[in-house]
Amino acid sequence: MVEGNPATDMLSVTGLEVVYNDVIRVLHGVSLHVPRGSIVTLLGANGAGKTTLLRAITGLLDHHRGEIVKGRVALDGQDVTGASPAELVQRGVAQVMEGRHTFAELSVDDNLRTGAVTVKDGALVTERYERVMEL
């Protein structure tokens, strides 16, 4: 197991256990550490728990009758275990549902602008938008 470093980890999941419907234990002691400035990929077979882990990190377990029963999720060293999706979005954490076409009727430009809805600083929104358009 690779140990994380709270001083440099942007995201830290430690010993996470998740149960669905008060019965089905899906995750058993999962740990994941994402150092600031890095890119991490989560790979696994169908049913391995990838989606459950992402739901636990993004606060979406409740909507699927899931619950964290053990372990911890931390952002920049602060415990956010069980935080609401709205709180996590305010902190910059969200799950993007690939292939679900959540805003299929919107243009790409409208989708990009929708993604900035929680950012209060208009100058920051403009800066980020221009950066994405350059890419």
Q: For residues 133 and 127, what is the distance between their CA atoms, to the nearest angstrom?
A: 10
| Alpha helices by DSSP H, 46-84 | 50-58
Among 63, 89, 67, 74, which Cα is nearest to 14's?
74
**CB of 112 closer than 8 Å to CB of 129:** yes
**pTM value?**
0.73
Question: Hey, what amino acid is at 80?
Answer: V
Rounded CA gap, 14 and 30, in Å? 6
pLDDT for residue 1 = 46
Digit-by-digit pLDDT tens for the chain (135 residues) are 456 776 678 999 999 999 999 888 889 999 999 998 888 888 999 989 999 999 999 999 988 899 999 999 999 999 999 899 889 988 888 877 666 666 778 888 887 787 777 778 888 888 888 988 888
CB atoms within 10 A of CB 117: 8
